[in-house]
């Protein structure tokens, strides 16, 4: 048996997504900028996808800019707004637990003369409203807080932050990295006070290489890609029509029976957490003092005392259980997790933590199999504990 429990890294596409992408690549392959019938058919796929996303977010279709994925969406949101709002100020507020695709663009902006305040979080991985409020200054033009943390599954108080920011200064832009949240949480940017929202298709059974950035109508943002002027000049480059068509189907399917899907994920999470907490020397992170229903339903982060995460990961893979030692992107940055350090995880568990993550297709049998594998491996692997 196999148990793929690394859905926060990527998900397999829905069969219907694969089918529509194959049709577009094989039959409806026109360039959407072409004026003939083939081009108009391709353009219709893009229009239809914008409308589907608009229904999901309760926003206007014109507020959606298609990107190559979440990383580009985050870069566009941060660098694009910084370039377009220079006169509003040069101070940005974010948290210490953001994804690298937020931290790295902000580091670049710091090199360009911007000042960034990195906020601490509590042991449950949440930033407090008071902490954000105290960090805002007269020259703050942008606040960026992720909705769901990709490593430990903490859910940030996005609605409360949005209301607070727009109460203090309606000109402050609020960007949310929604990459791990879309499809697991109901996200209505207008209601939450969110001005920019980043989403990636392959996190909810859509294709890799496509995502989108929601930009509230009226927000000033500068393009970071130039060329043919596609998407009203905001993101040049021939649109990835097969990917966008697949994204549309994935959005439609993941939003269908949303509450039922959440309940399924929470049941899996409860099963896994209960099983892990029964094992000696295992600590589930970011649940101390937090109700499970206040966390993301699809992510569990656990530390295994005395066993290096890489050793545990490969041992589980030998058993057909596939998990992660953190963010999938962190394999390119092998230093210890900043998120785990930010929530106060002890030194002994910083390099002894694994992330388990589910999707709507994950079964209780897979979770049970993973728990059996963990329980079987723990005593053997601990014999090789480093001293």
Catalytic positions: 329
Residue 296 corresponds to which tokens in the numbers above? 């993301």
Q: Which residues, 6 or more positions from 341, have their beta carbon under 8 angstroms from its beta carbon?
A: 350
Are the CB atoms for 172 and 44 separated by under 8 Å?
no
Are the CB atoms for 152 and 273 separated by under 8 Å?
no
Q: Which residues, 6 or more positions from 182, have their beta carbon under 8 angstroms from its beta carbon?
A: 199, 203, 204, 254
- Residue 144 burial (CB < 10 Å; 0-12/13-18/19+)? buried
CA 383 to chain centre: 36
- Residue 332 burial (CB < 10 Å; 0-12/13-18/19+)? exposed
Residue 305 corresponds to which tokens in the numbers above? 């005392």
d(CA 61, CA 49): 9
In 3-state terms the chain splits into helix, strand, coil percentages (rounded to 5) of: 45, 15, 40
Closest by CA position to 210, among listed 70, 53, 68, 42: 68
Closest by CA position to 297, among listed 358, 368, 208: 358
Are the CB atoms for 50 and 62 separated by under 8 Å?
yes
Q: What is the CA radius of gyration of the chain?
A: 21
d(CA 250, CA 56): 11
Question: Hey, how many other C-beta atoms are within 10 angstroms of the C-beta on 118?
Answer: 16
Closest by CA position to 155, among listed 185, 198, 196: 185
Strands 3-4 and 321-322: parallel
């Amino acid at each position: 048996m196999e148990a793929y429990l690394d859905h926060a890294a990527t998900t397999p596409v829905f069969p219907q997504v694969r089918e529509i992408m194959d049709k577009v690549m094989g039959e409806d392959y026109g360039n959407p900028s072409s004026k003939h019938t083939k081009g108009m058919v391709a353009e219709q796929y893009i229009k239809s996808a914008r409308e589907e996303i608009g229904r999901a977010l309760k926003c206007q279709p014109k507020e959606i800019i298609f990107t190559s994925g979440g990383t580009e969406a985050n870069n566009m949101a941060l660098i694009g707004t910084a370039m377009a709002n220079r006169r509003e100020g040069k101070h940005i507020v974010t948290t210490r637990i953001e994804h690298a695709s937020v931290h790295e663009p902000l580091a670049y902006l710091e090199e360009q003369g911007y000042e960034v305040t990195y906020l601490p979080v509590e042991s449950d991985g949440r930033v407090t409203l008071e902490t954000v409020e105290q960090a805002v200054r007269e020259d703050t033009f942008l606040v960026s807080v992720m909705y769901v943390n990709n490593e430990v599954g903490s859910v940030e108080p996005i609605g409360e932050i949005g209301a607070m920011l727009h109460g203090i200064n309606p000109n402050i832009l609020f960007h949310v990295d929604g990459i791990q949240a879309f499809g697991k949480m109901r996200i209505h940017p207008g209601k939450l006070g969110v001005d920019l929202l980043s989403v990636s298709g392959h996190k909810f059974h859509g294709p890799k290489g496509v995502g989108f950035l929601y930009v509230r109508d009226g927000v000033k943002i500068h393009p970071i890609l130039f060329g043919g002027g596609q998407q009203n000049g905001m993101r040049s480059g021939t649109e990835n029509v097969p990917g966008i068509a697949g994204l549309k189907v994935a959005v439609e399917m993941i939003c269908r029976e949303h509450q039922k899907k959440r309940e399924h994920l929470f049941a899996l999470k409860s099963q896994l957490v209960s099983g892990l907490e029964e094992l000696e020397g295992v600590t589930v992170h970011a649940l101390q003092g937090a109700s499970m229903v206040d966390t993301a339903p699809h992510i569990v982060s656990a530390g295994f005392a005395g066993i290096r995460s890489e050793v545990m990961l490969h041992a589980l893979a030998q058993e057909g259980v596939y998990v992660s030692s953190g963010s999938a992107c962190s394999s390119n940055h092998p230093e210890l997790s900043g998120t785990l350090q930010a929530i106060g995880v002890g030194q002994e568990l910083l390099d002894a933590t694994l992330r388990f993550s589910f999707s709507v297709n994950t079964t209780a049998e897979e979770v049970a199999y993973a728990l059996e594998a963990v329980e079987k491996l723990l005593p053997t692997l601990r014999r090789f504990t480093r001293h």
